[in-house]
């Protein structure tokens, strides 16, 4: 079972859910916790993100969230270091000779309005989201708490080697993984673990190494035509609404692929100004996925052609941009074996799966691939938790006992990895 | 030429453009002007609007606009009378025996960002819109000034009868005409004039009676399905985005009608929450039009069926509501004749058209029909004005000399109508 | 009332309906009739068609229809002159000094299966179509009989001038008018009449000059992609079916035009080979129309862009060709006046309309424009007939008394035109 | 290597390709061969098909193919037994005590025009298809020859048990498997083999047991609305073309399923009569597939709803029928093991795969399931062949040495099965 402190931390984070690049309160809260501990190094903001970022909101949006974090009690000195929406942190523990082991946890939340009824535990227990329209509906609050807890466990052990815990922003938008992978902090990592709670596994069940990550690429497309008075001069318009509708209808019609699963979704749309004006602008956001990165690229190529053609069909232009993206990746069997062995001997683990397929996407894959490409190994560990509502729904919640179990399994696996060097 | 005061009034209104049911500053400013004059009656707010209203924003939105009006100097006592977004006013002049003649002017503005360059006169002359994203891009500021100017002209004349000037809100959204027609103030009107500047007619040109109003009905449709994780469980979603796209594509495909012009437009769309979530909600707003009310109804019936089918096609439901609407109407030839005779003898009128077709819609038609159904007559008068940009574009502006010319023609027509009783 | 011979002729033609460029029996039958009369000239086949033709079937199809005509009793010597599907004829009567007056009648039939029930007069009276799937469902059988009858009437009168009767093929496909207009035989025509029965006008009603012909252009579009096994390798196909569906959906969505009526239709589709093969070829045929030729061209331009874009959207190519087409045209008021005067004094005419709008298309407009561009005048005369079913439906039929009335009006108008030279 | 006779047989069949329920020549030719051999029973026509059949052509079509078969030399007495398109045959060899072993080969051909160039061996060697537009482009000619060859091999061996060879019609349309499964002849089969050549495996390679059959269901949908003159009265039509286009566009948009591969295709379309008539009828044929029968049913349910909604959207009705269909199935590991063992010791086998995934559909699955549901076992054996063009393409051909190799492997497996009773 997790300490009361970690449950409190999780609930505090749960009350302050923040989306990608706006994890101001969350990062400040993490830094608070790190400073309480005897770490060898702490990095935050620009220090933990390399290369370009996508999906960064405009300054007004960033300022609003930062002010909200300040009002909620976040430390001003930390907030200053997150200027520009450079959120996230890395904690380092160096304990003599040994391999460098990483643990990645994600810290961001979702644009979902949390359930308010008494049947929803966070509401009944008084830690429902205070940020209207946003919610920790995927358990990243628990992940963050596990990250802190693992630091404690390792600090309290005879671990030999270096531990780095990556508090990654922007997983839900698939925008944080690549910059963090490119930060340099992963370059010397020999073994990397990532962790996710739930995923339809009940409390007590552990998945040693998850596979089946779909490669994903998110896009935004802005159709631009020419407005016109819809009653008096309809023929002079170039209708961005028709272009968008043609695009959507046909995007979903990209044929499946014989080599594996593919997906497409248009998740957001917005455009037009008035009923009597032929719309000159409609913007959509969507994503393509594939069981492999190649399959995702196939979908992407098809989608681009359809977007272009739909625009041209209605005399419009379309500007297409890439938002978040992530490759596929695999858990290494050796590291998976370590986790399985540790989990097998951990109190509270009642069911153990060697492997499972995610079926979704994750930008932990950027970090996993970064390590694997340099000769290291990676495993994505699932820690089951009873969750009343599904992931990404308003009634999602976690069994808080999972936090302690996750810490035990991961700290155990980190120790064993260092000892065994699989 | 209009007096300096009326030009100042027009410019003041131009600086404070307000959309439907939010004409707080505008109404307060009109009431200011009415109180300066020796009128027999003034009505405002709930007194000038009968029956139900559609398209009323929520309280937060109304409050924000009312506060803005107050901050811009609107009188608090008047604002209080406009509570709930009951905007608009009616002025009455009673001058002995004679017919009751009405003049309707509309006072609302459009959600268009006004041009800022020096080439745009209001910007160069310092009276560009101060309400970001809104603009008097259709000349209703000039209409309002004409309404006040006609009151002055009639007060200063030997007019015998009753004059009512209707300052109508919400024309652009086609929501103000019906409530004002149902206010009771129109019930005893024998002759009604409405006025519009511009419409691609140059300064100096007058159209005695405009026809060709398309009947219009605006709709909103909210598609509701079921969200799902787009990567992990796409099959469990009922995709409101696909439903909306199918609807849009097919709505534009409603066949033309052999009996006259029809129109359809989907002008606004919004929906979905994230790229990786199958959208459970997409809302659209649109409109149908017809050369006659029957043709508009044909389009409406077709549109409803398509909306329903598109929803069902993707396992969704759709809630369809009616927003603004307006019937078609015709200017009466007799009243048109009066205008033509007067305009023919008015200084500054350099070109005279008996009639013209609008090709768009107008909810003045509610007032016209209300009068006509009770045995009265109506004419919709066009007063040309050189306008650099088209109506409903960011560079629209009026030739301010038009205000005076409009007053001369309309006050003359009102006097002649009372004298002649056509 | 028409002579028994002409009713017999009409019924014989009704039994042998033939579509565009396949009017073998019909032309041969007309030539039979012409040879019985004391004409000054007769032209047939290539002699009456100039320039290129579109919509000509392949040789196998032509041969099959020619054989059918031969089997039905058509003269072999005439059939030989129609080789290649060059159908149609022109008859000339020269009677001294005077203007050259033309009468155009169309002779082709439609691909409609005729009603067989006793309620359908041709079926009950034994002259139902013998060509399965084809039918004179637009009255061209009556038009042809009127053409012969007018020849008789003029031959039997003191007409001074030249009369040319044009028996035009391929009106229903809008393919015969242009070649006949370019044949040279129209070059010296001073006055041209065309005639149509029915058009929702009852027996006894005459329309002196019909207007409102929509300009039309028919197109064929063949989408070509790449086939693939739909189960095993769907991603390798370029799906012509999806391209065609996208095209159709969006073609119908071309916005109406503020300057007048427009139309679009995709009337025929065919493609694909098996359920399990991604279709590599789908072909459509359709048409665009406009109240003016310019409006038709607007529709055509929009349609071409949509066809191209829809093909490209699905990795296909599209070959677009023009089939039949026809411009708009107007009846000249002077010539209309002559018809009205004559009809007004004709026995059996119980109702007279100066004008009416067709709302459809006609390639008589090619002949009318050809004459008008050379300084001549043209009128398209409507002769009402009670028709139980609508035009182009399986139960269409004509009141045979209309034939005689049509002859009286047209022969009268021809005589009066020559006498009066309007 | 196959005997010259069997190569001659394969080439004779190749010259006379026949599609589903029209395998008149093929069946007659098979019966010829069966009668030459010392069999214990032969069944043909109605004797080998139980229950209802789908996809049967009309009598005119059947008669035409039967006449063609007769003209090509098929025996009239056999053709008489195939009346109504009841094609196919079953051969039985009884050799004492032992299990009943079945071999299923399919005999039909595809609607593909065979390549004619010298680079295509059948063309160069003089046995190109003589049935224009049809072709053995999937190797069923070789399968049929293998079926005969296996009979010879078993007759010539000390096999103990019963062998049944099923010459199944209509595999390409997925219409022959179910009736043959329901014929009764499968009820006592203990072990069933099916065979397919090629499938991208080269000559010399054998796949012991193929899996991954997609369940499939083919549908036909006829949209019926109301025709109208597209120019004069477009609003009176209910446009079946728009309905079909809306259906197609949205059918392809059915989302993929998280539990496995799904497919959809609209393979054939036909409808409408003329460019100027709003189409009242458009018919499509298509198919849905799924990695499991449940997934196929998911697709089918979605498709039905879309078809219904698309019809209703445009005021049409749609009649949906099921054409061919087939479930998924799996090769039994035990029987696969027998094949692997035999192939491993067969001359000419240069490569052996235990298993492979088909990725397409096959109605051998009906026979396999029929046997498996009764406690028997089944394996679908792949025999590689170098094929210059892909399956279902105009340049497909087989390496004729494959026939002999296939006979060796299958006859060996049959013998071994009987001996071993796995």
Backbone angles phi, psi at D363, to 5 degrees: -95, 5
Residue B4: pLDDT above 90? Answer: no
Per-residue pLDDT tens digits for D393-419? 899 999 999 999 999 999 999 999 999
**Tokens encoding C286:** 């359709």
Give all strands (DSSP E) within C148-201, no chain letters. Answer: 161-168, 191-197
Partner residue opposite C242 with nearest CB, options D248, D278, D287: D248
What are the binding residues of B? 138, 140, 172, 196, 392
Percent of chain B with pLDDT over 70: 99
Distances from the Cα of D52 to the Cαs of D315, D324, D400, in angstroms? Answer: 33, 11, 36
Measured N-to-C along each axis, helices D293-313 and B293-313 cross at an angle, to the nearest 10 degrees, of 180
| pLDDT for the residue numbered D305 | 98
Residue C16 labeled ligand binder: no
Residue D172 labeled ligand binder: yes
Are D73 and D19 within 8 A, CB to CB?
no
Maximal CA-CA distance, chain D? 80
Per-residue pLDDT tens digits for C272-314? 998 989 999 999 999 999 999 999 999 999 999 999 999 999 9
With CB atoms and an 8 Å threshold, state whether B252 touches C256.
Answer: no
Q: What is the mean pLDDT of residues C51-69?
A: 96
Closest residue in A to B289 (Cα) is: A231
Q: How far apart are CA C277 and CA C232, in angstroms?
A: 10
Between C357 and C151, the more confident residue is: C151
Q: How far apart are CA D267 and CA D264, in angstroms?
A: 9
| pLDDT for the residue numbered C198 | 95
What are the binding residues of B for Mn(2+)? 138, 140, 172, 196, 392
With CB atoms and an 8 Å threshold, state whether A253 touches C232.
Answer: no
With CB atoms and an 8 Å threshold, state whether A231 touches B282.
Answer: no
For domain D4-212+329-420, give the CATH number: 3.40.630.10
Are A356 and A207 within 8 A, CB to CB?
yes
**Tokens encoding C136:** 């004179």
Partner residue opposite A230 with nearest CB, options B265, B274, B358: B265
Are A137 and A394 within 8 A, CB to CB?
yes
Helix (H, G, I), strand (E, B) or coil at A145: helix
D contacts of B246 (beta carbons < 8 Å) = 246, 249-250, 313
Partner residue opposite C263 with nearest CB, options D230, D246, D266: D230
For domain A215-326, give the CATH number: 3.30.70.360
Domain boundaries, chain A: 4-212+329-420, 215-326
Partner residue opposite C313 with nearest CB, options A239, A257, A309: A309
Per-residue pLDDT tens digits for A189-244? 999 999 999 999 999 999 999 998 999 999 999 999 999 989 888 999 999 999 99
Q: How far apart are CA A387 and CA B85, in angstroms?
A: 46
**Tokens encoding D314:** 């445009």
Closest CA to A216 of A253, A282, A261, A184: A261
Mean pLDDT, all residues of chain D: 95
Q: How far apart are CA D420 and CA D338, in angstroms?
A: 9
Q: How far apart are CA C216 and CA C360, in angstroms?
A: 9
Q: How far apart are CA A299 and CA A257, in angstroms?
A: 9
| pLDDT for the residue numbered A422 | 67
With CB atoms and an 8 Å threshold, state whether C242 touches A250.
Answer: yes
Partner residue opposite A253 with nearest CB, options D252, D261, D262: D252
- Secondary structure, 3-state, D175-206: CCHHHHHCCCCCCCCCEEEEEEECCCCCCCEE
Name, in order, each residue with C-beta under 8 angstroms of B212's C-beta and a sequence gap of 6 or more. Answer: B291, B356, B357, B358, B359
Mean pLDDT, all residues of chain C: 95
A contacts of C258 (beta carbons < 8 Å) = 232-235
Shortest Cα distance from A264 to chain D (angstroms)?
8
Chains within contact range of chain D (3+ C-beta pairs < 8 Å)? A, B, C
With CB atoms and an 8 Å threshold, state whether A253 touches D256.
Answer: no
Shortest Cα distance from C83 to chain A (angstroms)?
43
Residue A1: pLDDT above 50? Answer: no
Closest residue in B to A171 (Cα) is: B276
Percent of chain C with pLDDT over 70: 99
Name, in order, each residue with C-beta under 8 angstroms of A142's C-beta and a sequence gap of 6 or more. Answer: A10, A197, A385, A398, A400, A402, A403, A406
What are the beta bridge partners of residue D268? D285
Would you tell me how many other CB atoms lie within 10 Å of the CB of residue A182? 17
Chains within contact range of chain A (3+ C-beta pairs < 8 Å)? B, C, D
Helix (H, G, I), strand (E, B) or coil at B346: coil
Residue C1: pLDDT above 50? Answer: no
With CB atoms and an 8 Å threshold, state whether B315 touches D305.
Answer: yes
Query: Out of A122-126, C56-60, D156-160, D417-421, which region has the weakest mean confidence (pLDDT)?
Result: D417-421
Q: What is the mean pLDDT of residues D156-167?
A: 96
Residue D2: pLDDT above 70? Answer: no
- Secondary structure, 3-state, A300-361: HHHHHHHHHHHHHHCCCEEEEEEEEEECCCCCCHHHHHHHHHHHHCCCCCCEEEEEEECCCC
Percent of chain A with pLDDT over 90: 91
- ipTM of the predicted structure? 0.83
| pLDDT for the residue numbered D1 | 45
C contacts of A234 (beta carbons < 8 Å) = 255-258
Residue C120 labeled ligand binder: no
Per-residue pLDDT tens digits for C194-250? 999 999 999 999 999 999 899 999 999 999 999 998 988 899 999 999 999 999 999
| pLDDT for the residue numbered B2 | 59
pTM listed for this prediction? 0.87
Partner residue opposite C269 with nearest CB, options D272, D274, D276: D272
B contacts of D314 (beta carbons < 8 Å) = 250
| pLDDT for the residue numbered B1 | 45
Residue B422: pLDDT above 70? Answer: no
Maximal CA-CA distance, chain C? 80
With CB atoms and an 8 Å threshold, state whether C246 touches A242.
Answer: no
For residue A197, the 8-state DSSP code is: E
Q: What is the mean pLDDT of residues D322-339?
A: 94
CB-facing half-sphere around the CA of B175: CA atoms within 13 A: 27
With CB atoms and an 8 Å threshold, state whether C275 touches D267.
Answer: yes
Partner residue opposite D233 with nearest CB, options B239, B258, B315: B258
Closest residue in D to C215 (Cα) is: D231
Task: Count chain B–chain C contacts defined by CB atoms under 8 A.
Answer: 23
Determine which of C221, C309, C310, C317 to mutate to test the interface with A (most A C-beta atoms within 10 Å): C309
Mean pLDDT, all residues of chain B: 95
Partner residue opposite C253 with nearest CB, options A242, A305, A310: A242
| pLDDT for the residue numbered D392 | 87
With CB atoms and an 8 Å threshold, state whether C267 touches D277.
Answer: yes
With CB atoms and an 8 Å threshold, state whether A360 touches B279.
Answer: no
Bin B95: left if φ > 0, else alpha if -120 < ψ < 50, else beta.
Answer: beta
Backbone angles phi, psi at A326, to 5 degrees: -160, 145
Per-residue pLDDT tens digits for A83-110? 999 999 999 999 999 999 999 999 999 9
With CB atoms and an 8 Å threshold, state whether D256 touches A256.
Answer: yes
Determine which of B20, B263, B269 to mutate to test the interface with A (most A C-beta atoms within 10 Å): B269
State which fold the B4-213+329-420 domain adopts.
Answer: Aminopeptidase (3.40.630)
Query: Out of A18-22, A135-139, B3-7, which region has the weakest mean confidence (pLDDT)?
Result: B3-7
Between C372 and C360, the more confident residue is: C372
Per-residue pLDDT tens digits for C110-136? 999 999 999 999 999 999 999 999 999
Shortest Cα distance from C261 to chain B (angstroms)?
7
Spell out a b/e string for D294-324, using b for 16 or more CB atoms within 10 Å of the CB, else e.
Answer: ebbebbbebbebbbbbbbbbbbbebebeebb
Interfacial residues of C (vs A; Cβ cutoff 8 Å): 232-235, 237, 239, 242, 246, 249-250, 253, 255-259, 278, 298, 305-306, 308-310, 312-315
Chains within contact range of chain B (3+ C-beta pairs < 8 Å)? A, C, D
| pLDDT for the residue numbered C422 | 67
Residue D201 labeled ligand binder: no
Q: What is the mean pLDDT of residues B204-214?
A: 94
């Amino acid at each position: 079972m997790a300490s009361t402190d970690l449950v409190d931390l999780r609930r505090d984070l749960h009350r302050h859910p923040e989306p990608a690049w706006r994890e101001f309160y969350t990062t400040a809260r993490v830094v608070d916790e790190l400073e309480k501990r005897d770490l060898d190094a702490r990095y935050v903001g620009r220090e933990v993100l390399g290369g370009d970022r996508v999906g960064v909101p405009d300054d007004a949006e960033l300022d609003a969230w930062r002010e909200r974090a300040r009002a909620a009690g976040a430390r001003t000195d930390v907030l200053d270091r997150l200027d520009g929406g450079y959120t996230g942190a890395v904690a380092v523990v160096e304990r003599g000779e040994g391999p460098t082991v990483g643990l990645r946890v994600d810290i961001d939340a979702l644009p979902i309005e949390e359930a308010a009824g008494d049947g929803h535990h966070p509401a009944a227990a008084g830690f429902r989201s205070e940020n209207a329209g946003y919610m920790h509906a995927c358990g990243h609050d628990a992940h963050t708490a596990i990250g802190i807890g693992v630091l404690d466990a390792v600090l309290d052990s005879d671990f030999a080697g270096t531990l780095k815990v990556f508090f990654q922003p922007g997983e839900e938008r698939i925008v944080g993984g690549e910059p963090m992978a490119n930060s340099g902090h992963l370059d010397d990592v020999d073994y990397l673990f990532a962790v996710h709670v739930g995923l339809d596994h009940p409390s007590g069940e552990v998945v040693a190494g998850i596979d089946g990550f779909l490669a994903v690429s998110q896009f935004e497309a802005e159709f631009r035509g020419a407005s016109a008075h819809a009653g008096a001069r309809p023929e002079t318009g170039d209708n961005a609404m028709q272009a968008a509708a043609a695009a959507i209808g046909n995007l979903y019609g990209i044929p499946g692929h014989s080599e594996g699963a593919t997906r497409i979704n248009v998740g957001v749309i917005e455009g037009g100004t008035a009923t009597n004006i032929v719309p000159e602008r409609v913007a959509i956001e969507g994503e393509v996925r594939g069981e492999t990165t190649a399959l995702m690229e196939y979908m992407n190529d098809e989608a681009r052609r359809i977007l272009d053609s739909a625009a041209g069909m209605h005399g419009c232009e379309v500007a297409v941009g890439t938002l978040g993206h992530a490759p596929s990746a695999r858990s290494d069997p050796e590291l998976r074996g370590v986790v399985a062995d540790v989990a097998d001997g951990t109190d509270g683990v009642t069911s153990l799966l060697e492997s499972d397929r995610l079926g979704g996407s994750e930008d932990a894959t950027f970090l996993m691939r970064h390590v694997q490409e340099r000769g290291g190994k990676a495993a994505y560990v699932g820690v089951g938790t009873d969750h009343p509502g599904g992931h990404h729904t308003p009634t999602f919640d976690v069994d808080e006992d999972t936090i302690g179990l996750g810490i035990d399994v991961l700290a155990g696996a980190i120790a064993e990895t260092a000892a065994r060097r699989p």
